[in-house]
Protein backbone atom coordinates (compact mmCIF):
# COMPACT_ATOMS: atom_id res chain seq x y z
CA UNK A 1 0.00 0.00 0.00
CA UNK A 2 2.84 2.40 0.88
CA UNK A 3 4.65 1.64 -2.41
CA UNK A 4 1.53 2.27 -4.49
CA UNK A 5 0.73 5.49 -2.62
CA UNK A 6 4.26 6.80 -3.14
CA UNK A 7 4.06 5.79 -6.80
CA UNK A 8 0.79 7.65 -7.31
CA UNK A 9 1.97 10.91 -5.74
CA UNK A 10 5.49 10.91 -7.22
CA UNK A 11 5.03 9.56 -10.78
CA UNK A 12 3.18 11.53 -13.47
CA UNK A 13 0.97 8.73 -14.78
CA UNK A 14 -0.53 8.58 -18.25
CA UNK A 15 -2.63 5.64 -19.47
CA UNK A 16 -2.96 4.59 -23.11
CA UNK A 17 -5.94 2.37 -23.99
CA UNK A 18 -6.22 -0.12 -26.84
CA UNK A 19 -8.60 -2.84 -28.06
CA UNK A 20 -6.94 -5.90 -29.61
CA UNK A 21 -8.74 -8.31 -31.92
CA UNK A 22 -7.81 -11.78 -30.62
CA UNK A 23 -10.31 -13.74 -32.72
CA UNK A 24 -7.60 -15.56 -34.71
CA UNK A 25 -5.34 -15.84 -31.66
CA UNK A 26 -8.09 -17.56 -29.69
CA UNK A 27 -8.59 -20.08 -32.52
CA UNK A 28 -4.83 -20.67 -32.57
CA UNK A 29 -4.80 -21.11 -28.78
CA UNK A 30 -7.68 -23.60 -28.89
CA UNK A 31 -5.85 -25.73 -31.48
CA UNK A 32 -2.66 -25.66 -29.40
CA UNK A 33 -4.52 -26.66 -26.26
CA UNK A 34 -6.03 -29.67 -28.00
CA UNK A 35 -2.55 -31.14 -28.53
CA UNK A 36 -0.57 -29.54 -25.71
CA UNK A 37 0.03 -31.27 -22.39
CA UNK A 38 -0.08 -27.96 -20.56
CA UNK A 39 -2.90 -25.55 -21.33
CA UNK A 40 -1.77 -22.19 -22.67
CA UNK A 41 -3.55 -19.13 -21.33
CA UNK A 42 -4.32 -15.90 -23.17
CA UNK A 43 -2.15 -14.14 -20.60
CA UNK A 44 0.84 -16.19 -21.79
CA UNK A 45 0.40 -14.78 -25.30
CA UNK A 46 0.24 -11.24 -23.90
CA UNK A 47 3.35 -11.80 -21.77
CA UNK A 48 5.26 -13.18 -24.76
CA UNK A 49 4.13 -10.36 -27.06
CA UNK A 50 5.13 -7.77 -24.47
CA UNK A 51 8.57 -9.34 -24.04
CA UNK A 52 9.25 -9.19 -27.79
CA UNK A 53 8.32 -5.52 -28.03
CA UNK A 54 10.10 -4.57 -24.79
CA UNK A 55 13.40 -5.80 -26.23
CA UNK A 56 12.79 -3.57 -29.26
CA UNK A 57 11.88 -0.58 -27.07
CA UNK A 58 14.32 -0.64 -24.13
CA UNK A 59 13.13 2.71 -22.76
CA UNK A 60 9.90 0.97 -21.70
CA UNK A 61 11.90 -1.91 -20.22
CA UNK A 62 14.03 0.45 -18.13
CA UNK A 63 14.33 1.54 -14.52
CA UNK A 64 14.57 5.06 -13.15
CA UNK A 65 17.38 4.60 -10.62
CA UNK A 66 18.29 8.14 -9.71
CA UNK A 67 17.80 11.78 -10.54
CA UNK A 68 17.75 11.70 -14.32
CA UNK A 69 19.46 8.29 -14.49
CA UNK A 70 17.86 5.56 -16.59
CA UNK A 71 19.00 1.93 -16.58
CA UNK A 72 18.17 0.13 -19.83
CA UNK A 73 17.78 -3.66 -19.63
CA UNK A 74 18.77 -6.22 -22.25
CA UNK A 75 16.58 -8.87 -20.62
CA UNK A 76 12.88 -9.02 -19.79
CA UNK A 77 11.62 -9.98 -16.33
CA UNK A 78 7.85 -9.60 -16.16
CA UNK A 79 5.98 -9.33 -12.88
CA UNK A 80 2.52 -10.90 -12.86
CA UNK A 81 0.11 -9.37 -10.37
CA UNK A 82 -1.73 -12.08 -8.41
CA UNK A 83 -4.62 -11.46 -6.03
CA UNK A 84 -4.63 -13.45 -2.77
CA UNK A 85 -6.67 -13.31 0.43
CA UNK A 86 -3.72 -11.41 1.93
CA UNK A 87 -3.68 -8.81 -0.83
CA UNK A 88 -1.81 -8.33 -4.09
CA UNK A 89 1.59 -9.93 -4.75
CA UNK A 90 3.72 -9.73 -7.88
CA UNK A 91 5.92 -12.77 -8.59
CA UNK A 92 8.40 -12.28 -11.42
CA UNK A 93 8.96 -14.49 -14.48
CA UNK A 94 12.66 -14.14 -15.26
CA UNK A 95 14.12 -13.94 -18.78
CA UNK A 96 10.78 -14.19 -20.55
CA UNK A 97 12.49 -13.61 -23.90
CA UNK A 98 14.01 -17.12 -23.59
CA UNK A 99 10.70 -18.91 -22.84
CA UNK A 100 8.06 -20.31 -25.18
CA UNK A 101 4.30 -20.00 -24.66
CA UNK A 102 4.02 -23.32 -22.82
CA UNK A 103 6.82 -22.44 -20.40
CA UNK A 104 5.33 -19.02 -19.73
CA UNK A 105 1.92 -20.58 -19.00
CA UNK A 106 3.55 -23.05 -16.61
CA UNK A 107 5.30 -20.22 -14.76
CA UNK A 108 2.09 -18.19 -14.48
CA UNK A 109 0.22 -21.17 -13.01
CA UNK A 110 3.10 -22.10 -10.71
CA UNK A 111 3.43 -18.60 -9.28
CA UNK A 112 -0.33 -18.15 -8.91
CA UNK A 113 -0.54 -21.40 -6.92
CA UNK A 114 2.47 -20.49 -4.78
CA UNK A 115 1.03 -17.04 -4.09
CA UNK A 116 -2.26 -18.46 -2.87
CA UNK A 117 -0.46 -21.11 -0.76
CA UNK A 118 1.86 -18.39 0.60
CA UNK A 119 4.96 -20.33 -0.50
CA UNK A 120 6.59 -17.68 -2.69
CA UNK A 121 10.23 -16.98 -1.90
CA UNK A 122 11.73 -13.52 -1.62
CA UNK A 123 13.67 -14.09 -4.85
CA UNK A 124 10.37 -14.80 -6.66
CA UNK A 125 9.25 -11.22 -6.00
CA UNK A 126 12.34 -9.32 -7.11
CA UNK A 127 13.92 -8.18 -10.35
CA UNK A 128 10.93 -7.19 -12.51
CA UNK A 129 11.58 -4.86 -15.44
CA UNK A 130 7.88 -4.57 -16.36
CA UNK A 131 4.57 -5.64 -14.83
CA UNK A 132 1.33 -7.05 -16.25
CA UNK A 133 -1.88 -6.98 -14.24
CA UNK A 134 -4.72 -9.15 -15.58
CA UNK A 135 -8.21 -9.01 -14.11
CA UNK A 136 -9.32 -11.93 -16.30
CA UNK A 137 -13.01 -12.76 -16.12
CA UNK A 138 -13.78 -9.92 -13.67
CA UNK A 139 -11.83 -7.30 -15.57
CA UNK A 140 -14.65 -5.10 -16.82
CA UNK A 141 -14.05 -2.92 -19.88
CA UNK A 142 -10.87 -1.23 -18.65
CA UNK A 143 -8.89 0.11 -15.70
CA UNK A 144 -5.81 2.27 -15.03
CA UNK A 145 -3.00 0.25 -13.40
CA UNK A 146 -0.41 2.05 -11.25
CA UNK A 147 3.28 1.92 -12.18
CA UNK A 148 5.43 -0.16 -9.81
CA UNK A 149 8.71 1.80 -9.37
CA UNK A 150 11.55 1.67 -10.29
CA UNK A 151 9.79 0.25 -13.38
CA UNK A 152 8.38 2.83 -15.78
CA UNK A 153 5.41 0.93 -17.26
CA UNK A 154 2.63 -1.53 -16.47
CA UNK A 155 0.12 -3.23 -18.76
CA UNK A 156 -3.45 -3.88 -17.58
CA UNK A 157 -5.57 -6.62 -19.17
CA UNK A 158 -9.37 -6.61 -18.90
CA UNK A 159 -12.07 -9.14 -19.74
CA UNK A 160 -12.53 -10.56 -23.23
CA UNK A 161 -15.64 -9.28 -24.96
CA UNK A 162 -17.43 -10.06 -28.21
CA UNK A 163 -18.39 -7.32 -30.63
CA UNK A 164 -20.12 -7.17 -34.01
CA UNK A 165 -18.32 -5.27 -36.77
CA UNK A 166 -18.77 -4.60 -40.47
CA UNK A 167 -16.14 -6.35 -42.58
CA UNK A 168 -16.53 -6.00 -46.38
CA UNK A 169 -20.22 -5.21 -45.84
CA UNK A 170 -20.63 -8.38 -43.78
CA UNK A 171 -21.43 -8.40 -40.06
CA UNK A 172 -18.80 -10.50 -38.27
CA UNK A 173 -18.30 -11.38 -34.63
CA UNK A 174 -14.90 -10.57 -33.16
CA UNK A 175 -13.30 -11.33 -29.81
CA UNK A 176 -11.59 -8.28 -28.32
CA UNK A 177 -9.36 -7.82 -25.29
CA UNK A 178 -9.01 -4.33 -23.75
CA UNK A 179 -5.46 -3.32 -22.81
CA UNK A 180 -4.36 -0.32 -20.74
CA UNK A 181 -0.73 0.78 -20.61
CA UNK A 182 0.13 3.14 -17.74
CA UNK A 183 3.55 4.75 -17.89
CA UNK A 184 5.88 7.21 -16.17
CA UNK A 185 5.68 10.33 -18.32
CA UNK A 186 9.09 11.51 -17.07
CA UNK A 187 10.61 8.64 -19.07
CA UNK A 188 8.09 7.61 -21.73
CA UNK A 189 6.34 10.01 -24.07
CA UNK A 190 3.03 9.55 -25.86
CA UNK A 191 4.64 8.49 -29.14
CA UNK A 192 6.66 5.75 -27.40
CA UNK A 193 3.53 4.51 -25.65
CA UNK A 194 1.42 4.60 -28.81
CA UNK A 195 4.03 2.69 -30.80
CA UNK A 196 4.44 0.14 -28.02
CA UNK A 197 0.72 -0.57 -27.94
CA UNK A 198 0.38 -0.66 -31.71
CA UNK A 199 3.22 -3.16 -32.01
CA UNK A 200 1.68 -5.40 -29.35
CA UNK A 201 -1.67 -5.13 -31.17
CA UNK A 202 -0.12 -6.08 -34.53
CA UNK A 203 1.84 -8.96 -33.03
CA UNK A 204 -1.18 -10.42 -31.22
CA UNK A 205 -3.49 -10.02 -34.16
CA UNK A 206 -0.97 -11.84 -36.40
CA UNK A 207 -0.04 -14.61 -33.95
CA UNK A 208 -1.85 -17.23 -36.04
CA UNK A 209 0.64 -16.62 -38.86
CA UNK A 210 3.66 -17.64 -36.71
Catalytic residues: 185
Residue 53 near residue 201, CB atoms below 8 Å: no
> For residue 18, what is the enclosing H or E element?
strand 13-21
Report how far residue 54's alpha carbon sits from residue 196's, in angstroms, rounded to the nearest whole number: 8
DSSP secondary structure string for all residues of 41-68: PHHHHHHHHHHHHHHH-TTTTEEEEETT
Report how far residue 76's alpha carbon sits from residue 135's, in angstroms, rounded to the nearest whole number: 22
Paired sense of beta strands 153-157 and 170-184, if any: antiparallel
Amino acid sequence: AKTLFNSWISIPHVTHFEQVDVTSLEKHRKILNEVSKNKISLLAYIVKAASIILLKKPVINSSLVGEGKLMLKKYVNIGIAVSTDQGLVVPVIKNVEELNLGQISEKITEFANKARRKTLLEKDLKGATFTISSLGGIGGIGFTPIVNPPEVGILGVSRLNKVLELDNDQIVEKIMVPLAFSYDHRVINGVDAGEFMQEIKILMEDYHND
